[in-house]
Structure 1
């Protein structure tokens, strides 16, 4: 198949494969004089060179036989005579399938230039909603949003400022409020991250990633995607003076993992420590040739006056956000249940022509980020972003084990508002299965595993989600079953029902809740009245292949102690506080005004031992039982 390339003459026109000549020239006077002989195009003529505007992009096409590159303007003067009139009208470089240069055609006349079959068109109307474009049906006015802000008031910003060295997992474990609201790190020192140099430009992005790489560009006025862009064209647009830009555009979804730009970026250490993709997705299933969630390394490039309307990052993922050059203004709405409900009503409806901040039950908070600032945005926070000057930002999304309830809540909102799959967190369910499987294996180890209460709460939400996926496998429609099954990683999860339900059971045990009732755990007591089956009433294994660890030897002993008489408050029948009083009872705080009571005690001791991989385990459990009798 013929290869076509599109190159920009802002850094000298050169043939594909030629040695790169870099130039930062931005005006005709500053650009070096380059003869068209340097283009290495055998088809160049004086006439074709004179007619070409050096500030336009150059198109190249390669002969499928001799592999020689030609300017398309030199090779496409006339369509081949064998084409029909309709095909001649559509004779463009994008339609070429097989192409041969004139010498190769003359050498072998049987060769034929062919065109690609035209794309099949459908008459069915489609309404594509970009996740970033949350303003359907609005007027094409890029300044409308700014005018909307003129009469708005904002809550004084009081987000926590932190030193990079303090943003650690230990901070998360010790501070209950950690990762519940945005934090700002004014300097990157101590964050353990790596960023490109401060003089890094959009031109550098285009050169390192590839000028021909397609990029999704957002038209700010309509908040919808503008088709036909690649990084070379985007770099040309950025180089224009602001008054020369016909429209205001924004790039917010260029993921650079696996590129030379990606090699220059490393997320903060906290992000890498928490990120599910980093820690739970198998390393053997990442990289080239494997589909996995690539959402860790985004390069965001916006021009002055660009803005992104209210949104929540997909699947409630958290975000790290570093301003390399320029500035950003964030507007935040706290994700309370009422605010999220308002956001759901607002999303994808005619209400999007209105300011969401007027529909929520809390004030909008405004914060300005400048060059060198890093912000971490927790799960679920609703935000809009304004770009006052041309800006380059590096950031990324990550799911983690402290925010699963919020992450699932945002995912439900996405489904309720019919966000297309393209704009949701990629492979979300498969990632959840990998995470659930790993936590289950950790909980099943002989030593067990202990987690902070926030993590246990999050894991319980994860387990409930996986159980809901299993129920679809058991009771859903054929299509629903197919979709769920496709997301289960067969390389790790052989029995999804057992994994999901045992994970839930073990997490509940770890959290101090022994109940694992689900449907079948409800039965009648013989009189038609339903009751929940107590855990101790049923000693059958609950999960396939689950066997409780056995003790090698157990010794029980009971010893009766001496009686004693103390004065204590006698609990009255109608005294509802006696339970709390007697749970915390100690002889040291005996009620001297109380009645005399005889206290008899006995001590029961249980000692058991078993072999372990490292030696022996000995467990001693001692219970003291007291009997109180008033005279």
Structure 2
């Protein structure tokens, strides 16, 4: 049997020739258990005695795995009488995780080691001002995040305005132990080896309070939600306002269904409906549960249906970090967002923005066999330094890559949460975790379940808006839905048995394929409603602009009256403007005779000009008679309405200019209505008054089409 932790990486495996009868199998240890009776869930292991070659369970000989890893030669109780006590490894280097390696001089420095920490403290990093937003607590609201987004870390210097509650900085480790339970086993990280072990909380407190520490054990995963210590912690209001765990994305249990555990702490259950068949005791969920479980993993389906799970608790963690603790670069599980508040001590974050390039480099780095020998910050364009002190609170958005160094002994409270503004990054990080085959223990518990609940919530929100004929679509909802459809459709399409295979994590009443189809349909309807409303609004605005433009174009009271000659020239120019070719201004200038014919006219050109001159003379004679008619008409108008004002004239001219040309309107005075109309019509209403180039092109095209010349 392979041992999890043992001296010199020795392992014990079954011999293929071993007897098949269980009674004939060899027994080990002082307990005389068979090999198959080892309990991996209890973190048990076996170690070989270098004296008698016997194998012993760690629990049976009261030996922890973290200590067993540091033993060079182990002697059991009987052999120690002859060979003496077990021999521990001696430190031979300061820069390798295997500190007993005597041949490590030419090997690279590994992260977490004493040499690495010393070099890290001397390094210079750019400040975080350009990528971290500083706010006051009372300014941090859902409305602020909806307006400015949540894509950069947000640093709050003190807790004022955050509406959160934390234990006082004077709280002792003994008080923490009593509030959590002294018999509780916790995960600790050996910072030099970057290996996780189990340790009794009481033993850890004893280690922490010892000033002569030979090891650096960091506690990062002590979840306290269902403890008395958890009652003293209230997460920031902004977290409660956006976290899926508290806004109802995961259904909140009805008050009548609340249960009280052995510590008389109210447990937050999540499934509001129970059938008589499901009245069994609920099984707590931890990060060791998997989303991608096979049917056989859960055994009988009756006791492991989804309804037997409680909502995962990851919102309240107590972090205990000795000085010089180091956590290498990572992204919080499932791309979850983080709240993090320092009660005492100091922390330094080394943060990397989650750009496409940086995430790709992170994925390559985390999967590399030389990961421990490479500082990720050296592989990216920018790695920023952020210093946190007592009373500081930081909110970290999804996907941000960060490493953490502890300056002094620190006590921190924090937690993780999923939220609607980070759906795309959450699903993206989850895909990276699956691709990298991250152990289930280090994934966000029931991550897929949370997102199926979210899909249902977004569907119901869109459906309600569509049924009320709302033309407003929340951009956060839209982006979240698009990401859900993109990524979660892959889960279903990649595995035809997805619904059946994952029945233990899919909420009752949710058909995965159907909810995705329904969500896509409602999203399309919402988009269509929004686009339709925008088109209607645009048409209304355009009509309003056209009316104003028409009024401005026909405001002739501000235009001085022209002489008969000016009117005739305008008339002639308009005729020239109406016929420019479609080739545009550039082609017209290129093909025109502006450089030759105008200054050195040919015979044909002279003939055309003479003909044009004779036509102008005839036109002048006609205009004189029309002018006489105009004068008589004007006198008649003044006689009939002596109080007529320029505003009335403006109204009249506006009406005439905007009316379609009819036979009756041809009798209007040509110098007043007809010619004015033609001037205004030479500039299309759709062209902006500021678009001078558009006007020039239009005029030039008209000239070209009439065979005119550009002068």
Q: TM-score range by the shorter chain?
A: 0.5 to 0.7
Say if 2:315 is the partner of 1:296: yes
Say if 2:355 is the partner of 1:414: no
Whole-angstrom distance in 1 between the partners of 2:473 and 2:345: 41
Match of 1:453 in 2: 475
Question: 2:421 is paired with a residue of what secondary structure?
Answer: coil
Question: 2:124 is paired with a residue of what secondary structure?
Answer: coil
Whole-angstrom distance in 1 between the partners of 2:319 and 2:431: 27
Matching of residues 11-160 of structure 1 within 5 Å: 89-90=30-31, 119=39, 138-140=97-99, 142-150=113-121, 152-158=123-129, 159-160=132-133
Structure 1, unmatched stretches of 5+, are: 1-84, 96-115, 124-136, 516-560, 576-586, 600-629
Whole-angstrom distance in 2 between the partners of 1:469 and 1:215: 33
How far residue 347 of structure 1 moved from its aligned partner, in angstroms, is: 0.3
CA 1:572–1:160: 2 relative to 1, 3 Å = farther
Q: Is the 8 A contact 1:505 1:514 kept in 2?
A: no
Corresponding residue to 2:377 among 357, 372, 375: 357
Match of 2:145 in 1: 172
Q: Deviations over 1:184-231 (max 9, x none)?
A: 11110111111111211222221111111110000001111123x111
Matching of residues 314-463 of structure 1 within 5 Å: 314-352=333-371, 353-360=373-380, 362-445=381-464, 446-447=467-468, 450-463=472-485
Match of 1:235 in 2: 205
Q: Is the 8 A contact 1:148 1:355 kept in 2?
A: no
Question: 2:228 is paired with a residue of what secondary structure?
Answer: coil
Q: Is the 8 A contact 1:440 1:503 kept in 2?
A: yes
RMSD between aligned alpha carbons? Answer: 3.7
Match of 2:491 in 1: 469
Using the size of structure 2 for normalisation, the TM-score is 0.53
How far residue 506 of structure 1 moved from its aligned partner, in angstroms, is: 1.9
Match of 1:595 in 2: 682
Match of 1:264 in 2: 232
Question: 2:385 is paired with a residue of what secondary structure?
Answer: strand
Choose between structure 1 and 2: higher helix proportion: 2
The total of aligned residue pairs comes to 410
Using the size of structure 1 for normalisation, the TM-score is 0.59
Q: Deviations over 1:332-374 (max 9, x none)?
A: 01111101100000003223111101111x2211111111110
CA 1:443–1:212: 2 relative to 1, 3 Å = same
Match of 2:67 in 1: none
Q: Is the 8 A contact 1:142 1:248 kept in 2?
A: no
CA 1:460–1:513: 2 relative to 1, 3 Å = farther
CA 1:199–1:151: 2 relative to 1, 3 Å = closer
Match of 1:282 in 2: 251
How far residue 145 of structure 1 moved from its aligned partner, in angstroms, is: 2.9
Choose between structure 1 and 2: higher strand proportion: 1
Match of 2:223 in 1: 255
CA 1:232–1:597: 2 relative to 1, 3 Å = closer
Structure 2, unmatched stretches of 5+, are: 1-25, 47-95, 100-111, 255-267, 270-281, 284-308, 532-546, 555-573, 585-657, 659-676, 687-704, 707-711
Q: Is the 8 A contact 2:137 2:162 kept in 1?
A: yes
Whole-angstrom distance in 1 between the partners of 2:239 and 2:376: 30
Question: 1:278 is paired with a residue of what secondary structure?
Answer: coil
CA 1:502–1:226: 2 relative to 1, 3 Å = same
Q: Is the 8 A contact 1:453 1:511 kept in 2?
A: no
How far residue 424 of structure 1 moved from its aligned partner, in angstroms, is: 0.5
Question: 2:204 is paired with a residue of what secondary structure?
Answer: helix
Match of 2:134 in 1: 161
Q: Deviations over 1:41-95 (max 9, x none)?
A: xxxxxxxxxxxxxxxxxxxxxxxxxxxxxxxxxxxxxxxxxxxx9789349xxx9
Match of 2:193 in 1: 222
Question: 2:164 is paired with a residue of what secondary structure?
Answer: coil
Whole-angstrom distance in 2 between the partners of 1:431 and 1:366: 33
Whole-angstrom distance in 2 between the partners of 1:462 and 1:119: 39
How far residue 155 of structure 1 moved from its aligned partner, in angstroms, is: 1.3
Q: Deviations over 1:139-191 (max 9, x none)?
A: 4563243134256331122022211001100101222xx31111111110111
Match of 1:551 in 2: none
